[in-house]
Protein backbone atom coordinates (compact mmCIF):
# COMPACT_ATOMS: atom_id res chain seq x y z
CA UNK A 1 0.00 0.00 0.00
CA UNK A 2 1.27 3.46 -0.89
CA UNK A 3 1.85 6.01 1.84
CA UNK A 4 -0.67 8.85 2.12
CA UNK A 5 1.16 12.12 1.53
CA UNK A 6 -0.78 15.19 2.65
CA UNK A 7 2.11 17.67 2.30
CA UNK A 8 3.83 17.93 -1.11
CA UNK A 9 6.97 19.36 0.56
CA UNK A 10 7.64 15.86 1.96
CA UNK A 11 7.92 14.24 -1.48
CA UNK A 12 11.63 14.98 -2.10
CA UNK A 13 12.70 13.50 1.25
CA UNK A 14 10.44 10.46 0.80
CA UNK A 15 12.00 9.97 -2.66
CA UNK A 16 15.50 10.33 -1.18
CA UNK A 17 14.82 7.87 1.65
CA UNK A 18 13.25 5.21 -0.59
CA UNK A 19 16.03 5.48 -3.19
CA UNK A 20 18.76 5.30 -0.54
CA UNK A 21 17.09 2.20 0.91
CA UNK A 22 17.15 0.57 -2.54
CA UNK A 23 13.33 0.49 -2.52
CA UNK A 24 12.38 0.88 -6.19
CA UNK A 25 8.71 0.16 -5.45
CA UNK A 26 8.76 2.78 -2.68
CA UNK A 27 10.10 5.39 -5.11
CA UNK A 28 7.53 4.43 -7.77
CA UNK A 29 4.72 4.73 -5.21
CA UNK A 30 5.47 8.47 -5.10
CA UNK A 31 4.49 8.91 -8.77
CA UNK A 32 0.98 9.55 -10.10
CA UNK A 33 -0.28 7.26 -12.86
CA UNK A 34 1.10 8.40 -16.21
CA UNK A 35 3.89 10.46 -14.61
CA UNK A 36 6.99 11.40 -16.53
CA UNK A 37 10.60 12.27 -15.89
CA UNK A 38 13.47 13.98 -17.63
CA UNK A 39 16.53 11.88 -16.87
CA UNK A 40 19.92 13.37 -16.01
CA UNK A 41 20.95 12.35 -19.54
CA UNK A 42 18.18 14.65 -20.85
CA UNK A 43 15.83 11.91 -22.11
CA UNK A 44 12.09 12.30 -21.38
CA UNK A 45 10.48 9.08 -20.16
CA UNK A 46 6.90 8.29 -19.15
CA UNK A 47 5.06 5.35 -17.70
CA UNK A 48 5.70 2.87 -14.92
CA UNK A 49 7.99 0.57 -16.95
CA UNK A 50 10.37 3.35 -18.04
CA UNK A 51 10.39 4.88 -14.55
CA UNK A 52 11.12 1.46 -13.01
CA UNK A 53 14.05 0.96 -15.37
CA UNK A 54 15.49 4.42 -14.61
CA UNK A 55 15.09 4.16 -10.82
CA UNK A 56 16.25 0.53 -10.85
CA UNK A 57 19.41 1.54 -12.71
CA UNK A 58 20.16 4.19 -10.11
CA UNK A 59 19.67 1.68 -7.30
CA UNK A 60 21.86 -0.88 -9.11
CA UNK A 61 24.61 1.76 -9.39
CA UNK A 62 24.47 2.17 -5.59
CA UNK A 63 22.90 5.60 -5.81
CA UNK A 64 22.99 7.71 -2.65
CA UNK A 65 20.80 10.82 -2.92
CA UNK A 66 20.73 13.94 -0.76
CA UNK A 67 17.82 16.37 -1.35
CA UNK A 68 17.58 19.86 0.16
CA UNK A 69 14.31 21.66 -0.48
CA UNK A 70 14.43 25.26 -1.71
CA UNK A 71 10.76 26.06 -2.40
CA UNK A 72 7.38 24.39 -2.50
CA UNK A 73 4.79 26.52 -4.28
CA UNK A 74 1.20 25.28 -4.21
CA UNK A 75 -1.80 26.40 -6.28
CA UNK A 76 -4.80 24.78 -7.98
CA UNK A 77 -4.08 21.27 -6.57
CA UNK A 78 -0.59 21.45 -8.13
CA UNK A 79 2.80 21.99 -6.50
CA UNK A 80 6.14 23.13 -7.90
CA UNK A 81 8.97 21.61 -5.89
CA UNK A 82 12.41 23.16 -6.32
CA UNK A 83 15.07 21.01 -4.69
CA UNK A 84 18.87 20.99 -4.67
CA UNK A 85 20.26 17.47 -5.03
CA UNK A 86 23.52 15.54 -4.91
CA UNK A 87 23.69 11.95 -6.14
CA UNK A 88 26.68 9.75 -5.42
CA UNK A 89 26.68 6.89 -7.90
CA UNK A 90 29.00 4.34 -9.46
CA UNK A 91 30.23 5.63 -12.82
CA UNK A 92 30.68 3.52 -15.95
CA UNK A 93 34.25 2.58 -14.99
CA UNK A 94 33.31 1.73 -11.40
CA UNK A 95 34.54 5.07 -10.04
CA UNK A 96 32.27 6.95 -7.66
CA UNK A 97 30.89 10.17 -9.21
CA UNK A 98 28.68 12.83 -7.63
CA UNK A 99 26.56 14.89 -10.02
CA UNK A 100 24.55 17.74 -8.51
CA UNK A 101 21.70 19.93 -9.67
CA UNK A 102 18.47 21.71 -8.87
CA UNK A 103 15.13 20.17 -9.77
CA UNK A 104 11.91 21.72 -11.01
CA UNK A 105 9.41 18.98 -10.11
CA UNK A 106 5.63 19.03 -10.30
CA UNK A 107 3.21 17.18 -8.02
CA UNK A 108 -0.57 16.96 -8.07
CA UNK A 109 -3.12 16.40 -5.32
CA UNK A 110 -5.68 13.74 -6.16
CA UNK A 111 -9.34 13.65 -5.11
CA UNK A 112 -8.40 11.92 -1.84
CA UNK A 113 -5.98 14.74 -0.91
CA UNK A 114 -2.92 12.59 -1.62
CA UNK A 115 0.10 14.19 -3.33
CA UNK A 116 2.16 12.41 -6.02
CA UNK A 117 4.83 13.48 -8.49
CA UNK A 118 3.53 13.99 -12.01
CA UNK A 119 6.76 15.27 -13.56
CA UNK A 120 10.36 15.11 -12.37
CA UNK A 121 12.95 17.33 -13.94
CA UNK A 122 16.26 16.90 -12.10
CA UNK A 123 17.95 19.20 -14.61
CA UNK A 124 15.76 22.14 -13.58
CA UNK A 125 15.98 24.87 -16.20
CA UNK A 126 18.98 23.40 -18.06
CATH number, residue 84: 3.10.450.50
Per the structure, the complete domain to which residue 114 belongs is given by: 8-120
**What is the predicted pLDDT for the residue at 126?**
73
Residue 1 lies in a domain: no
- pTM for the model stands at 0.94
Give the tens place of pLDDT for each residue, 16-67.
999 999 999 999 999 999 999 999 889 999 999 999 999 999 999 999 999 9
Give the tens place of pLDDT for each residue, 92-123.
898 999 999 999 999 999 999 999 999 999 99
Domain count, the chain: 1
3-state secondary structure the chain: CCCCCCCHHHHHHHHHHHHHCCCHHHHHCCEEEEEEEECCCCCEEECHHHHHHHHHHHHHCCCEEEEEEEEEEEECCEEEEEEEEEEEEECCCCCEECCEEECCEEEEECCCCCEEEEEECCCCCC
Amino acid sequence: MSPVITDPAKLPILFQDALNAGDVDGVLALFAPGAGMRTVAGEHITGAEALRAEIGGTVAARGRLTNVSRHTLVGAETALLVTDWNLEIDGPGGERIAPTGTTANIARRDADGDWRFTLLNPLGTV
